[in-house]
Structure 1
Amino acid sequence: MNKLFFKIFILVLLLSHPAFSKSNSPLLPDIPSGIKKIDLGDTAKINALLRLASTYVNKPGEQADDLSNAINYGNQALSLSHQYHFLPQEIAAYSLLSQSYREKKDIVAGRKYAEQGVKLLPKNSTTIEAADALAELSTYYDATNADSLNIKINYFAKSVGILRKVAPRTKKLADGLKFLGDLNNSRYDLKEAVSLLNESLALYQLLGVKQLQDIYDLLGDALTSSGNTVEGLSYQLKALKTAEMFKDTSQMISTIYYRLAFTYNSINQDNRTAEYMEKASYYALKNRNINDWIMISGSLGTIYNKLGRYREAVKTCEEALIKCPTTDYQNQTNLITNLLFAATATKKLGKASGYYNRLKQLTDAHNIELSPTDAAMIEYLIAMKQFPEAELQVEKFIKYAAVTQSLISKQKIEHYQFQVDSAKGNFLSAISHQENAHLLRDSLLSRNYNKQIGRMQMTFDLQKKDQEIAFKAKHIDLLTHQNQLQNSALHSQKMIRNLFIASVLLLMALLAVLYNRYKLKHQANNDLQEQQEEINTQNESLRQLVDEREWLLKEVHHRVKNNLQIVISLLNSQLSNIKDVVAIDVIRESQNRMRSISLIHQKLYQFDNLATIDAGDYIREIALYLQDSFDTIGHIKFRVDVAPVRLDVSQAVPIGLILNEAITNSIKYAFADQTDKQVSINLTSTDNHVRLMISDNGKGLSPEIDIKQLKSLGMQLMTGLSRQIRAQLKITSNNGLTIELEWLQADPFHTSTHRDKIINDSFSSAAKPMI
């Protein structure tokens, strides 16, 4: 969604402009008879003509007759003011004529009048006419160009500065502050924009203005752009409520709905984003604002695709593409990108090919580089199995992501590289990219929760510290009072011996101090009780957040397990179409590997401990699954002897894969025609060292085979995975084959740190060839 289209507002003020040359003014029509009959001076006549011109040019709509009348009266006012050297009226006439020609779409003539009016301004002029002339000239500078926008803001800021002096507490100043704030928002000077818009809102409210939907909407947009999403959203909802209360059906309501949709999209509220985007599209079309409707249609197609509503995305974008001007390359690109996404997702690759070619022509011809466009092209090329071209497009996407630093873009890149490397057979690189994609996705899921918990923890710590400081201060005060009381008591004893009256007075003073101390202590106890209640409330909130985070982690593991099951099922479906025995074998081995990883995530979400899993249950389930998968139940005996060991997640995945490879090799290759077939699995733990042994009583390896020279995928996996968890791998062939693995058990209190280190080691070693 491109916010730039809605950052630009057309600034319309009250006055306009006059003729280009004072000396060669055209013959002007007579002054209306109604004005001649009034016995007024020349100044009053000119002011009456200016009011008539202003009335016609500011009438609702842009009727040709009204603009002609405005130009007629403006020229008369210009001629008379020039004739009698009335400079303020002459400047006002130039401004009105500029506005009239601008609304007549004669921009060249209108700009000349505006420039002439500003040229006549005395130095440091502080009049209403000067403010209007500067504001009128600012309307001729483009807000989409940075240099032009700066000039526009400079003229308008001068106009507002004059209005602050000559027209404070007026609607004219409030309007000027609002438009200047919107211009600063377009320039992304968000702090200044929010300040100006708040000042404008306060002035409108002071003047009793009720229809404030436009200022609420602008303020909400500026706040959300500056990162204050909560406060910004509250203003945007207030703008919508106000517009609906006054039954506003103008283009303003379309703008409000669009910006609301954009805000909800930024916080991943996809259904609400689509709802408000649809309303914005409806009102843009109702108000015949075709350019905005086309732009909104592109954004609406994007959210439809994100929700999987591909048919609606195609219908919306095709309708907009028909009405999109051929020179509007940006909107054409957005619409065709959405159509390519939808066609690729629904497997309509014939249509997708046509959209891809059109999109490539547009981006190459006009040097358009957009993240959604790159992603759409990559997904199409992968679907068409054009992996070299997809790899080139991924490199282009990487350059874009390096500029934006978007985690979402980086996660997509890792996923696309996984798909490309998998297709090319670069399995180790593919695994590395897939792990990176999972890590980035987990970062996206947990980032908001971590920030929220961090902010709450910081607030709690600060409040606790403040409470301790206050308590110590009060304790010192009490000790001070106590010391003073003791000194008073000593002094009173001395005085009692001399004067009885003095002793009575001191006794009364003592009673007063004691009463005061009682009140202070009572108040201190009340304060402590209130603070304790606040601390209890904060603790409860933190506990709820921790529970929510644990639920979220379980949900992540559940979804990972489900996704792996889906992949396994997809591979299983593919088996029915494959005749090659080797390919079938490879796919089944991949299914077994994925199943071993899936078991880990299943156990993590089924139990409360999210950091470790029970090694015994895990090993038995893998063994049982492989027995069932190869139909060996009753033919091969499995002896499983496992000590009570808990495995960290970062160790469980590699160990599960190694166990899968070892058992699979034993089942497939260890036994010939012997009857007593047996596979043994032993797991022991001593002094934080864990040892895993998988052995069989089969034929073992031939003496001529050098184990270190084996380069099969299974051997590479076992070697690489053992290196990843810093384990010693030993393979011996004596009355069968024995695979022995020994590693250091992870510290349960530092599992996350250990896991990160393992992941980093795996990345650094991914590109190295395995022995």
Structure 2
Amino acid sequence: MNKLFFKIFILVLLLSHPAFSKSNSPLLPDIPSGIKKIDLGDTAKINALLRLASTYVNKPGEQADDLSNAINYGNQALSLSHQYHFLPQEIAAYSLLSQSYREKKDIVAGRKYAEQGVKLLPKNSTTIEAADVLAELSTYYDATNADSLIIKINYFTKSVGILRKVAPRTKKLADGLKFLGDLKNSRYDLKEAVSLLNESLALYQLLGVKQLQDIYDLLGDALTSSGNTVEGLSYQLKALKTAEMFKDTSQMISTIYYRLAFTYNSINQDNRTAEYMDKASYYALKNRNNNDWIMISGSLGTIYNKLGRYREAVKTCEEALIKCPTTDYQNQTNLITNLLFAATATKKLDKASGYYNRLKQLTDAHNIELSPTDAAMIEYLIAMKQFPEAELQVEKFIKYAAVTQSLISKQKIEHYQFQVDSARGNFLSAISHQENAHLLRDSMLSRNYNKQIGRMQMTFDLQKKDQEIAFKAKHIDLLTHQNQLQNSALHSQKMIRNLFIASVLLLMALLAVLYNRYKLKHQANNDLQEQQEEINTQNEYLRQLVDEREWLLKEVHHRVKNNLQIVISLLNSQLSNIKDVVAIDVIRDSQNRMRSISLIHQKLYQFDNLATIDAGDYIREIALYLQDSFDTFGHIKLRVDVAPVRLDVSQAVPIGLILNEAITNSIKYAFADQTDKQVSINLTSTDNHVRLMISDNGKGLSPEIDIKQSKSLGMQLMTGLSRQIRAQLKITSNNGLTIELEWQQADPFHTSTHRGV
């Protein structure tokens, strides 16, 4: 029964494909207000919505958002198609909604949509929409129930019949034929199943489809079930080869291994059966397909019992039984059957009794038929010497064998009847059953023997042909070679002698060259090593010189900064003895200038970079120092906006002095009685050109002052310093005074020593 159940389960998976539908029922939703805003024809609107719904429902996986979008677009398409009486689109919408709800696990709602779509079909309808909705409705019928399976096949047969008319030579028809063939195989309509699957395979090949492992596997299973084991096995091996060629690790490879295992089981190759069944279990677990893994575990337990590997059977089935859903009665039955068989075979009759009772409850409560469960129960009842009950169970097993036409099942029945009749004293009947059991066993052995002889003969013939071809080719090559030897024997001997002498000479010359190259290379390596040691010594000496130079430079900058601070302090002391205001201003201006220069030397010895300073930090410190020096906090706002620019020392001193003069001038002379006093400093850099702008919002210069003719010390300083760094100096007076200085940024690695001011 495991094999039948697996066929049905795989069939349900294969039949989960898109379907379309229409309505005039309570399922009909309201028309969304926004949909009429689409500037398209009515048919185009509906078709667009149907394509959207189909896209979302057929996306890989079953995401909640995708299914919600599919339902939303499907409802819109259903509303419009019903409003405008577009029957094909309405049927398509019902079919899509059915599929969406089915994948959302709302089976009741999904089935209602499918049934409503089928009700709308005109008599003898031959449209793609009709084929799809019939196929969709068939998915709601349980293939494990005989009556339900007939209805399922009926609907799908109608769907395929329509596709033959409206979609010949299409992949859609090939898929339909494949699914229908699998359904027929599940119902043991094997001749029809093989015919449909062959037709599907031919159509796939005509369409150029390469990945045919699923159809090969189905066809192989149908052929082996119908008794054509050799051809069936060839298709199944072709399915495995195709899957491996395309590196298929999906659930399909698990299915292929599972069916191959059953085929090898049918020809009593039990070890190969266990090997393939174990691989099927591995891939089912790898693909996280819990249901298939549970079902395969049941089959694996069966073959372990057959091989006498009872511990492995018990372990496998107990692990699967823990994860088996409580509502999965079929797999529960299979697993407990194996546990009952193993317990009976190992004489653990107390455990066997518990398994028997559980099995009896399951089969009676849920009407589970056509299962090897009967065989396990018979084994247990005979072991417990409950022969009347065993006889009743044998009767049930006879019905199962009549459906499957399995020789193994028939042989077991005869063996069980022999045991029951022997125990009850019906010796004539027992002898008859024993003879029948032996005949069936001999028949199976004969069948297997003939197959083995056929395979051996085929292998022998192929090997013989290969040997004949190889012998003929070898014989021709031998004759040709002998002829060549006879024609060139003397010439070859002479050539060999000459080649040998030449080879010896060439070898000696090669050895001499190699020895010479070795000596040269050895000498070169020694020279390089000496040079490298000398270079390393020089590098170390240079590094020490560089470190010493950097230390000396920092010490020089430090001392210059200290000397400038001493001068500033001396001037500050002198201020206490001077009463002349003009003289005091002159000395303070000089202090500020020296402070600007002192800041540069301070920054040079505080940081590792002895060539440049950060313009931003330098300008801010000068500005804050001058603001503090003139005590303008709270009176004059100072706004500093500078770009990340580094200044060479030769540029920093002149720029610092110009900045000092400009800010001092603005603080001292720019403002009168105005309240909003502001001095702005802006430094920008573009394409290696730097621009410094110092501006205030004061009264500006008096109109009678000629900047170019000015003899003031501050103006002379700014003019002279700007020339020194080759900068353009521009002074404008418009709503305040603006001093603008623009120069090209110097390369610190190509800058000479400081030029004098």
**Is the contact made by 2:22 and 2:81 (CA closer than 8 Å) also made in structure 1?**
no
Q: Distance in 1 between matches of 2:27 and 2:473?
A: 87
Shift of 1:118: 2.6
Distance 1:472 1:693, change over 3 A: farther
Shift of 1:273: 0.7
**Is the contact made by 2:211 and 2:246 (CA closer than 8 Å) also made in structure 1?**
yes
Moved more, 546-555 or 53-62: 546-555
Deviation readout 1:565-607 (Å, 9 max, x if unpaired): 9999999999999999999999999999999999999999999
**TM-score normalized by structure 2?**
0.53
Shift of 1:639: 141
**Is the contact made by 1:254 and 1:280 (CA closer than 8 Å) also made in structure 2?**
yes
Distance 1:488 1:667, change over 3 A: farther
**Is the contact made by 1:694 and 1:739 (CA closer than 8 Å) also made in structure 2?**
yes
RMSD, aligned α-carbons: 39.4
Shift of 1:229: 1.4
Shift of 1:423: 8.2
**Is the contact made by 2:23 and 2:78 (CA closer than 8 Å) also made in structure 1?**
no
Deviation readout 1:408-439 (Å, 9 max, x if unpaired): 45655666677778889999998888777656
Distance 1:507 1:249, change over 3 A: closer
Deviation readout 1:195-246 (Å, 9 max, x if unpaired): 2222222222222222222111111122222222111111111212222222
SS across alignment from 1:752 = coil
Distance 1:323 1:82, change over 3 A: same
Deviation readout 1:438-481 (Å, 9 max, x if unpaired): 56544543355479999999999999999999999999999999
Shift of 1:267: 0.8
Moved more, 405-414 or 153-162: 405-414
Matches for 1:224-373 after TM superposition, within 5 Å: 224-363=224-363, 372-373=372-373
SS across alignment from 1:613 = strand
Shift of 1:512: 82
**Is the contact made by 1:492 and 1:503 (CA closer than 8 Å) also made in structure 2?**
no
Distance 1:53 1:313, change over 3 A: same
Q: Distance in 2 between matches of 1:664 and 1:384?
A: 118
Moved more, 237-246 or 602-611: 602-611
Distance 1:267 1:160, change over 3 A: same
Distance 1:488 1:38, change over 3 A: same
Shift of 1:747: 124
Residue-pair matches, total: 756
**Is the contact made by 2:415 and 2:437 (CA closer than 8 Å) also made in structure 1?**
yes
**Is the contact made by 2:20 and 2:96 (CA closer than 8 Å) also made in structure 1?**
no
SS across alignment from 2:608 = coil
SS across alignment from 1:140 = coil
Q: Distance in 1 between matches of 2:258 and 2:162?
A: 34
Deviation readout 1:162-218 (Å, 9 max, x if unpaired): 322322222222222222222222232222222222222222222222222211111
Shift of 1:549: 104
**Is the contact made by 2:219 and 2:235 (CA closer than 8 Å) also made in structure 1?**
yes
SS across alignment from 1:708 = coil
Q: Distance in 1 between matches of 2:433 and 2:653?
A: 16
Moved more, 238-247 or 343-352: 343-352
Distance 1:346 1:740, change over 3 A: farther
Q: Distance in 1 between matches of 2:56 and 2:715?
A: 88
Deviation readout 1:697-723 (Å, 9 max, x if unpaired): 999999999999999999999999999
For residue 387 of structure 2, what is the aligned residue in structure 1? 387
Shift of 1:359: 3.7
Deviation readout 1:656-705 (Å, 9 max, x if unpaired): 99999999999999999999999999999999999999999999999999
For residue 655 of structure 2, what is the aligned residue in structure 1? 655
Q: Distance in 1 between matches of 2:309 and 2:572?
A: 28
**Is the contact made by 1:301 and 1:312 (CA closer than 8 Å) also made in structure 2?**
yes
Distance 1:61 1:513, change over 3 A: closer
* 1:675 aligned onto 2:675: yes
Shift of 1:563: 119
For residue 509 of structure 1, what is the aligned residue in structure 2? 509
Distance 1:688 1:576, change over 3 A: same
**Is the contact made by 1:175 and 1:200 (CA closer than 8 Å) also made in structure 2?**
yes
**Is the contact made by 1:14 and 1:132 (CA closer than 8 Å) also made in structure 2?**
no
**Is the contact made by 1:20 and 1:113 (CA closer than 8 Å) also made in structure 2?**
no
For residue 77 of structure 1, what is the aligned residue in structure 2? 77
Deviation readout 1:293-325 (Å, 9 max, x if unpaired): 222211111100111211111100111222233
SS across alignment from 1:209 = coil
Matches for 1:88-237 after TM superposition, within 5 Å: 88-237=88-237
Moved more, 388-397 or 23-32: 23-32
Distance 1:277 1:404, change over 3 A: closer
Q: Distance in 2 between matches of 1:535 and 1:346?
A: 85
Distance 1:437 1:689, change over 3 A: farther
Q: Distance in 1 between matches of 2:364 and 2:96?
A: 46
**Is the contact made by 2:94 and 2:114 (CA closer than 8 Å) also made in structure 1?**
yes
Distance 1:312 1:101, change over 3 A: same
Deviation readout 1:624-644 (Å, 9 max, x if unpaired): 999999999999999999999
SS across alignment from 1:639 = strand
Distance 1:460 1:234, change over 3 A: closer
Moved more, 23-32 or 517-526: 517-526
Moved more, 435-444 or 239-248: 435-444
Shift of 1:100: 1.4
Distance 1:592 1:527, change over 3 A: same
Q: Distance in 2 between matches of 1:544 and 1:66?
A: 71
Distance 1:194 1:614, change over 3 A: farther
Moved more, 170-179 or 339-348: 339-348
Distance 1:749 1:703, change over 3 A: same
Distance 1:434 1:294, change over 3 A: same
Q: Distance in 2 between matches of 1:668 and 1:426?
A: 136
Q: Distance in 2 between matches of 1:26 and 1:316?
A: 50
Q: Distance in 1 between matches of 2:574 and 2:391?
A: 25
Moved more, 71-80 or 336-345: 336-345
Moved more, 465-474 or 106-115: 465-474
**Is the contact made by 1:658 and 1:717 (CA closer than 8 Å) also made in structure 2?**
yes
Distance 1:268 1:117, change over 3 A: same
Moved more, 497-506 or 87-96: 497-506
**TM-score normalized by structure 1?**
0.52
Q: Distance in 1 between matches of 2:410 and 2:571?
A: 27
For residue 765 of structure 1, what is the aligned residue in structure 2? none
Distance 1:21 1:11, change over 3 A: closer
Distance 1:448 1:504, change over 3 A: same
Deviation readout 1:259-280 (Å, 9 max, x if unpaired): 1111111111111111111122
Deviation readout 1:281-303 (Å, 9 max, x if unpaired): 22223333333222221111110
Deviation readout 1:341-400 (Å, 9 max, x if unpaired): 323333444433433443455456566677854544454466567788778877876787
Q: What percentage of residue pairs aligned between the two structures are identical?
A: 98
Distance 1:744 1:371, change over 3 A: farther
Deviation readout 1:498-528 (Å, 9 max, x if unpaired): 9999999999999999999999999999999
Deviation readout 1:525-577 (Å, 9 max, x if unpaired): 99999999999999999999999999999999999999999999999999999
SS across alignment from 2:353 = helix
Distance 1:360 1:494, change over 3 A: closer
Distance 1:422 1:164, change over 3 A: closer
Moved more, 551-560 or 175-184: 551-560
Moved more, 360-369 or 128-137: 360-369
In our comparison, the structure showing a higher alpha carbon Rg is 2
Distance 1:653 1:93, change over 3 A: same
**Is the contact made by 1:17 and 1:100 (CA closer than 8 Å) also made in structure 2?**
no
**Is the contact made by 2:21 and 2:94 (CA closer than 8 Å) also made in structure 1?**
no
Shift of 1:52: 0.9
Moved more, 661-670 or 218-227: 661-670
For structure 2, the residue ranges without an aligned partner over 5 or more in a row are: none
Distance 1:229 1:49, change over 3 A: same
Moved more, 437-446 or 402-411: 402-411
**Is the contact made by 1:412 and 1:437 (CA closer than 8 Å) also made in structure 2?**
yes
For residue 695 of structure 1, what is the aligned residue in structure 2? 695
